[in-house]
Amino acid sequence: MEVVSLDPWAPPHFALLVAANTPHMTHYLGGPESDDELRARHERYLRSPESGDAWMYAIEVDGVPAGGIGFWRVEHDGEDAYETGWNVLPAWQGGHNPADPCMGAPDPPTVSAT
């Protein structure tokens, strides 16, 4: 059985931002970010629990990084609300574990901290 966990955003999770910063993954978000923008985003994610306005998590499957998810406070039509954003790396999309050789999918990408 696969174990999916949401782990609070930590320094090693910068590699997830890099892995998701592709034209395919950011097509509807305005395209890939620069290195400086990615680092600034990562720093915001690391500080988010302290602010109390946002909460960011890494998605892991059996300890393997698979994506990210978070939610943050916004104002919508004059009311306080929450918005969420998430991504799942392409190798993990499709409802199966890409590491399973029976599925015929490529191995998940190696994600490492920089």
Delineate the domains of the chain, giving CATH numbers in brackets. 4-103 (3.40.630.30)
Q: Whats the size of the chain, residue-wise?
A: 114
H-assigned helices in 14-100: 14-20, 35-51
Composition of the chain by helix, strand, coil, percent to 5: 30, 30, 35
User: Cα separation of 71 and 69, whole Å?
Assistant: 7
- If DSSP codes are grouped into helix, strand and coil, which group holds residue 21? coil
**Spatial CA neighbour of 75 closest among 43, 55, 50, 53:** 53
Q: Would you state the structure tokens that stand for residue 55, as one six-digit string?
A: 């909460």
Question: pLDDT tens digits, residue range 45-90?
Answer: 999 989 888 999 999 999 999 999 999 999 999 999 999 999 999 9
How many other CB atoms are there within 10 angstroms of residue 108's CB atom? 18
pLDDT at 11: 97
Judge whether residue 103 has pLDDT over 90: no
User: Cα separation of 66 and 6, whole Å?
Assistant: 10
